[in-house]
Amino acid sequence: MKKEDLENLCLRCGICCHKKVVGPEGLFFIHPTAKCEHLDENNSCLVYEERTCLRIEQMVSQDGVLPSHCPYTRLRPGYLPGRMVTEGEFEEWLSELQQIKKRIEEGMNLLRQAKRNGLDYPL
């Protein structure tokens, strides 16, 4: 497909530029309103040529980034879309992730301490 035809598939909804967080199954949760700071009120990217985020080809090759209504998802049969969630669900999952991170850090600290005490396999 020519670059111009590829660009024309876009509905300019801007959803792929909303904030995302990886969900429990590796597919992204998409925030309903929070957007990238470079997206203007017409859903145009203010830094399009210099952007460092994923290009459309990369988003198509990675499940869970694009929303289900995005025409680009049809370019790869079997594409698993990301899910737009409510603000509450997004915040709840973020807080759960922080708890998981805290538990991992606590576990790592215990392992380091055990190692310092000469125990390689404390569990």
Q: Where does this chain touch ligand SF4 (CB under 6 A) — which range of 19-27, 33-41, 84-92, 107-115? A: 33-41
Strands in the chain per DSSP E: 18-22, 28-35, 83-84
Structure tokens at 7: 């660009």
Q: Does an H or E element contain 101, and which? A: helix 87-116
Annotate each residue in 70-109 with x if it binds ligand SF4 (CB under 6 A) or - if it does not, as one string: x-x-------------------------------------
Distance, CA of 94 to chain centre: 12
CB nearer ligand SF4, residue 54 or residue 114: 54
- Does 65 help bind ligand SF4 (rule: CB under 6 A)? no
Structure tokens at 91: 């915040």
Residues engaged in binding ligand SF4 (CB under 6 A): 10-17, 36, 38-39, 45, 47, 51, 53, 66-67, 70, 72
